[in-house]
Amino acid sequence: SSGTIDVELFREDTPITVANFLAYANAGIWDGTFFHRAAESGGQEFVIQGGGFSSTTLDALETFDPILNEFGISNLRGTIAMAKLGGDPNSATNQWFFNLGDNSANLDFQNGGFTVFGEIVGAAGLNVMDAIAALEVVNATAQGGAFNEVPVNDAQAVSDNGGTVTAGDLVVISRLSILVDLDGEPFGQLDDTGALVISNNAGDVTI
């Protein structure tokens, strides 16, 4: 397990985006997905991206309808934002990314601005994000066009397997669901093995 990431979601500033995010989470669509992209820009760490593909089949997931862009918060280190198609500000569906650094000069002004809808709370979550970003990256475009910057646990193992990535090589999101803060089961007692944890003011979302 890479660990947990605690994220505050900006429901008031980005209500459409947060509702979309929680709809995917509640449907269990992201269970068993993976971080398929760890990108650099200008020699600097840029983003880690997930939400789009199954870790077992590498197939693209089915999506809900695209949502309206709600840009208004800068793409700073530790924020989470929606990915979208080039040239279409209102095309975000199921893919999202964590900003590894201050990407405001780029992402705030590109394609209508990328909608930030939450931010990591606490150093522990940032450490997990950075640990994922620090993994070796392989080009697996033979298995899918989006897989040119896939973070893996052991690049040599992928090479030994003829360059083919398997679920065991990937940073898998085992579970993403709402964890409501109930008196009967304090958050610290919830099983978060192999999970990333995203919280919001209405409860907690576990990846």
pTM here is 0.88
Provide the domain count of the chain. Answer: 1
Strand-pair partners of 98 = 48, 80
Question: Is 70 a member of any domain?
Answer: yes
Look at residue 149 and give its three-state secondary structure: coil
Element (H, E) at 155: helix 155-160
CATH number of the domain where residue 130 is located:
2.40.100.10
- The phi, psi pair for 25, rounded to 5°, reads -60, -50
Q: Is residue 114 part of a domain?
A: yes
Residue 155 belongs to domain spanning: 7-206
Residue 1 in domain: no
Q: What is the pLDDT along the chain (207 residues), one digit of tens a residue?
A: 577 788 889 999 999 999 999 999 889 899 899 999 999 998 999 999 999 999 999 999 999 999 999 999 999 999 999 999 999 999 999 999 999 999 999 999 999 999 999 999 889 889 999 999 999 999 999 999 999 999 999 999 999 999 999 999 999 988 775 655 444 444 444 444 444 554 433 334 444
Q: Which residues pair with 152 in a beta bridge?
A: 136, 170
Residue 2 lies in a domain: no
